[in-house]
Amino acid sequence: MAVSNQRSAWPRIILVQLGIVAALLVLYKVYMPSMQRHNLAKDVEAREQRIQKFTRTMIVEDSGRDVSGTGVDGQSMSHPQKLLQEDSVDEVQQALGAPGTEFSDAGGGQHLTWTGTDHKLEAAFNKGVLYNLTYTNIRTGRGVAVFESSQYWQSF
């Protein structure tokens, strides 16, 4: 009798092992990609918040000059904007995290871009010092180019 009980146990053991393998396959094929998409969406939303916080702290209006223009989110603007301070590349990366894209121009300037859910921010550096921020609404295409002097401010 012992031999017959062992033989009937083998199919059960194999079925249990196949069930475990099937559960692992479902986990890796269905749950893991879903979890990765969820984490990626959270990361992009966090980047969007960092972009908005950074622009609020770095861009100020120059109330000494009047201009008519449109802001990033469609609001009308009566004063040009300028950079509050000229940060280094490391300071900007510390505030915003790693950039999505990075390139250098022919003059040796460095350009870093961060993209969030609603806005894109491009920072341009000359000799490691921030001189321009281009802040764009991804959905509408509206944006502003802000320099260290409000004289060069542009709305598009």
For residues 121-147, give the mean pLDDT.
Answer: 92
Q: In what order do the strands lie in the sheet with 110-115?
A: 101-104, 110-115, 119-126, 129-137, 143-147, 154-155
Predicted TM-score (pTM) of this structure? 0.71
- Determine which of 15-19, 32-36, 77-81, 103-107 has the lowest per-residue pLDDT on average: 77-81
Q: How many domains does the chain have?
A: 1
Tokens at 120, concatenated: 């894109």
* Domain with 77 in it: 2-155
> DSSP string spanning 34-90?
HHHHHHHHHHHHHHHHHHHHHHHHHEEE-TTS---EE-TTS-EESS-EEES---BHH
